[in-house]
Amino acid sequence: MLENNFIVYGIVVLCSLLPFKATWVATIVFQLIALFLDTAALGLGALATYRCRNQTGCVQTLPMSLTTLALVLLVFVFDTMQTWDIYRIIRAPIFLSSATQRVRILLAWALPFGWLVNIINVVNSEWSLFIFTTSHLIVDPIVILMANSHENIFIATILFATIVMDILAWGMNTNTLTNKAIPIQIALCTGAILILFAGSDANKEKEEVEEDQEDFEVAEAQPSGLRYRKSGNDKIKF
């Protein structure tokens, strides 16, 4: 059930990047599906753990079961908070979002997948892949912090290098879950690069339009029928 959340979360990310109210309505629908899957997994896991508490074989696995339930509960809490945020966005009359904010959102989604891939490599003792898979643990926080620094060339360069390392790691890896997580990382980083440059061009056009409107308003407000008298002194000295 929780594995299906990967697909649902991907749809949620794609819908949230589009500045239309209809896409946000679709986003909350898919987010509710994820919340339902969290609830079902949490309920079934708690029921199975409760029924197994008195059996001898389950005593040994009880700590790991409780840890897993705690992590699923944490996912449920995060999905609940995200559902409420999406609901607030839909109810808001105006919601402004910049390109840098969307880049941060994409990299914030990519970072957990980076941790997932590296944890799987540790469990499977795939030490040779660390040179490729650890790039997200370094690059994603850097991009999140530098998104507003206007260093688009530098950010795009390190994101492109990360994509190349992801492609190499995907070709060398054999784990099925990792093979699903790495393409998601590649897609999120590629979307971040596209939004970074497309958003910067849109912001420049918006600034130019605002400047033209301000110049027009100033020119319209300036009186034209007044005569100015020149002073005898060019400068006034105090």
Give the start-end residues of each E strand in the chain.
Answer: none
pLDDT for 84: 92
pTM of the full predicted structure?
Answer: 0.58
Grouping H, G, I as helix, E, B as strand and the rest as coil, residue 231 is coil
pLDDT for 56: 67
pLDDT for 209: 45
From 96, 127, 152, the end of a domain falls on: 96
pLDDT for 205: 47
pLDDT for 70: 92
pLDDT beneath 50, residues of the chain: 201-203, 205-210, 216, 218-219, 228, 231, 234-238
Total count of residues recorded for the chain: 238
Same domain assignment for residues 90 and 148: no
pLDDT for 35: 93
Nearest to 162 by CA among 178, 182, 179, 177: 182
Domain interval for residue 40 = 1-96
Burial of 174 (0-12, 13-18, 19+ CB in 10 A): exposed
The type of residue at 1 is: M
- Which residues 6+ apart lie within 8 Å of 32 measured at CB? 83
pLDDT digits (tens, 9 = 90+) for 28-59: 999 999 999 999 999 998 888 888 777 766 76
**Contact 2/42 with Cβ under 8 angstroms?**
no
Position 228 in a domain = no
From 63, 78, 96, the end of a domain falls on: 96
Same domain assignment for residues 102 and 91: no
**DSSP-assigned letters across all residues of 122-177:** HHTT-GGGHHHHTHHHHHHHHHHHHTTTT-HHHHHHHHHHHHHHHHHHHHH---HH
Count of domains observed in the chain:
2
26 vs 12: CA distance, rounded Å? 8
149 vs 143: CA distance, rounded Å? 10
Same domain assignment for residues 104 and 194: yes
- Which residues 6+ apart lie within 8 Å of 159 measured at CB? 139, 143, 189, 192, 193
Same domain assignment for residues 112 and 206: yes
From 79, 96, 113, the end of a domain falls on: 96
